[in-house]
């Protein structure tokens, strides 16, 4: 991703918009008794589009705004969302192709991992919170909602950031048929031209 003043403004605008949507809409809508949590998936999407640095920075912004706009302890989500964005960006920087199944799996894992880590964090730090088996259905439902909303969120973020994205048309993986294609030009039985001594 190419960072310019215009693309940075778009990123900040998306962070504010998605954080406000989370607090004002998605956290208020309950399906089967569980609200939706889009911020971990959004941090993963930014990492998949922009790399580890963009993912970690945007993840920190999502975590800080999410804590500031709710009654949670300030800063509790920052490190978790930073890790989510960084790991997704690391996957992107390996050169692997990002397609819809990758986005869906990344958002599901991000939501699941952020829920588990945030629950452990609140217990370890000593807040008035307990972990019980009754939270497992909520955890599964929020992960399912993260998977369900992955594609529309990716489409929105990709559309807004499209001018700043870097496309590499050349694949970094060697084609499977390349070895067979090269073998066809090898001299049969070693009777081809020999190098000069």
| 30-48 average pLDDT score | 87
Q: What is the pLDDT of residue 46?
A: 93
Q: What is the pLDDT of residue 3?
A: 80
Q: What is the pLDDT of residue 169?
A: 43
Phi-psi map region of 193: left, alpha, beta (phi>0 left; psi -120 to 50 alpha): beta
Region of poorest pLDDT, from 20-24, 60-64, 66-70: 66-70
Q: Which residues pair with 35 in a beta bridge?
A: 30
Q: Check if the beta carbon of residue 133 is closer than 8 Å to that of residue 119.
A: no
HEC letters along the chain: CCCCHHHHHHHHHHHHHHHHHHHHHHCCCEECCEECCCHHHHHHHHHHHHCHHHHHHHHHHHHHHHHHCCCCCCCCCHHHHHHHHHHHHHHHHCCCCCCHHHHHHHHHHHHHHHHHHHHHHHHHHCCCCCCCCCHHHHHHHHHHHHHHCHHHHHHHHHHHHHHHCCCCCCCCCCCCCHHHHHHCCCCHHHCCCCCCC
Taking the C-alpha atoms of residue 148 and residue 61, their distance in angstroms, rounded to an integer, is 23
Q: What is the pLDDT of residue 124?
A: 72
Q: What is the pLDDT of residue 153?
A: 93
Region of poorest pLDDT, from 31-40, 65-74, 87-96, 120-129: 120-129
128-187 pLDDT, tens digit each: 556 566 677 778 888 888 888 999 999 999 999 888 887 644 444 444 444 444 444 445
Long-range contacts of 66-70 (CB under 8 A, 24+ apart): 66/19, 66/22, 66/23, 66/39, 69/19, 69/20, 69/23, 70/23, 70/27
pLDDT at 119 over 80: no
pLDDT at 58 over 90: yes
What is the maximum alpha-carbon separation in the chain? 81
Q: What is the pLDDT of residue 130?
A: 60
Taking the C-alpha atoms of residue 98 and residue 60, their distance in angstroms, rounded to an integer, is 23
Radius of gyration from C-alpha coordinates of the chain: 22
Q: Residue 130: how many CA atoms within 13 Å on its side-chain side?
A: 3
Q: Check if the beta carbon of residue 91 is closer than 8 Å to that of residue 106.
A: yes
Q: What is the pLDDT of residue 192?
A: 52
| 86-108 average pLDDT score | 86
- Please report the domains of the chain, with CATH numbers, ordered by start residue: 5-186 (1.10.1760)
């Amino acid at each position: 991703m190419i960072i310019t003043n215009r693309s940075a403004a778009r990123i900040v605008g998306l962070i504010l918009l998605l954080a406000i949507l989370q607090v004002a809409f998605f956290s208020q809508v309950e399906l089967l008794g569980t609200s939706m949590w889009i911020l971990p998936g959004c941090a993963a999407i930014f990492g998949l589009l922009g790399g580890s640095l963009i993912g970690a920075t945007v993840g920190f912004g999502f975590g800080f705004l999410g804590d500031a706009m709710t009654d949670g302890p300030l800063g509790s989500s920052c490190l978790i969302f930073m890790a989510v964005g960084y790991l997704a960006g690391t996957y992107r920087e390996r050169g692997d192709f990002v397609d819809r199944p990758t986005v869906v799996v990344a958002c599901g894992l991000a939501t699941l991992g952020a829920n588990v880590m945030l629950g452990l964090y609140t217990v370890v730090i000593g807040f008035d919170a307990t972990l019980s088996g009754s939270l497992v259905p909520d955890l599964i439902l929020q992960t399912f909602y993260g998977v369900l909303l992955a594609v529309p969120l990716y489409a929105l973020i990709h559309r807004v950031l499209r001018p700043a994205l870097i496309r590499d048309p050349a694949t970094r993986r060697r084609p499977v048929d390349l070895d067979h294609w090269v073998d066809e030009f090898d001299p049969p039985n070693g009777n081809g031209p020999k190098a000069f001594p």
